[in-house]
Amino acid sequence: MKVFISVDMEGISGLCEAEDVIPGRRHYEAGRRLLTQDVNAAIEGALDAGATQILVNESHGPMNNIILEELHPAADVIRGFFKPLCMMQGIDDSFDAAFFVGYHGKAGTGDAVLNHTLSGLAIHRLVLNGKEVGEAGLNAAVAGAFGVPVVLVTGDSQTAQEVEEDIPGVFTVAVKTGITGLSSQAIHPVRAREMIRKQAKEALLSRSHVQPIGQKAENTIEVEFTKSQFATAVSWMSGVELVEGRTVRFHSKDVVSMMPVLQAMLMITGQVNRMITG
């Protein structure tokens, strides 16, 4: 039985501010250890349920945050930002289930810890087929394109509520509750990891009760950027339409083929931002 694990960082046990999740900041190294331990708890739960192959895709920031020597040896890992499927690199139809570990709420989700969608700098709102989605909703649609159900999501309580609406039947673990978006009330990491391991096992054993996200024959993604300059530059890409000042639209036959385009958009906005800020 194969399990795919996409790992973000803002939703990891105990983390609540930029100092915890940005390389070079005061608490980042401690954050890396907590991240690795949450991932290991999910891996252990998957193994308890009979998983035989586990692939972890690093999905936060530079996407090389896990402490490799401390990662459970049962897992293989994909690292690095430059990959076409971004947070879902490595997923295919050979997997039986997917876990999202350490995920966060979409941009503007009340007091969800460090909430944003893909890029807090560049993206204000992301709409897939008429519905606003966060990273969990978008990535669950990618998994669904391969017929893979997302059975477990860990993060704060606001994120748990978000994904329970987007992914019917999904198992969640709320390791903390956001207070202001930059603060939280957190379950002790040891207890949180026990919860993750238990729910990971239960989710995998119950995977037949969670259906993959259904797919559409035609798909549309709209991206509302934080700056009009981002939208202008991105609209120069073939097939991308400028809807209005800050919003672009892109059509595709499937969600998977949208992901490299979306990834390219993020790279373009990074370059434009450097031009704006000098």
Which of 116, 124, 188, 209 is flagged as catalytic?
A: 116
pLDDT of 190 > 80? The answer is yes
pLDDT of 110 > 90? The answer is no
Phi, psi of 87 (to 5 degrees): -70, -10
Residue range 209-222: mean pLDDT, rounded: 95
pLDDT of 278 > 80? The answer is no
CATH number of this structure's domain 2-115+134-209, picked from the four choices 3.40.50.150, 3.40.228.10, 3.40.50.10780, 3.40.50.11060? 3.40.50.10780
Q: Enter the tokens of residue 275.
A: 């031009």
Q: Is 72 a catalytic residue?
A: no
211-240 CB burial, b ≥16 within 10 A, e <16: ebbebeeebebbbbbbbebbbebbbeeeeb
CATH number of 219-277: 3.30.1360.130
Residue range 222-242: mean pLDDT, rounded: 97
Give the start-to-end residue ranges of the domains of the chain: 2-115+134-209, 219-277
First to last CA, the chain: 50
pTM across the whole model: 0.97
The string of pLDDT tens digits covering residues 7-43 is 999 999 999 999 999 999 999 999 999 999 999 999 9
pLDDT of 68 > 90? The answer is yes
Q: Enter the tokens of residue 228.
A: 């009009």
- Residue 277 banded pLDDT, cuts 50, 70, 90: confident
Farthest CA pair distance, the chain: 52
Same fold? 2-115+134-209, 219-277: no
Q: What is the pLDDT of residue 212?
A: 97
- Residue 191 banded pLDDT, cuts 50, 70, 90: very high
Q: What is the pLDDT of residue 199?
A: 98
- Residue 197 banded pLDDT, cuts 50, 70, 90: very high
> What mean pLDDT is reported for the chain?
97
Ranges 23-27, 119-123, 269-273, 274-278: which has the least confidence: 274-278
pLDDT of 271 > 90? The answer is yes
Handedness of CA 152, 197, 78, 22 (dihedral sign): positive
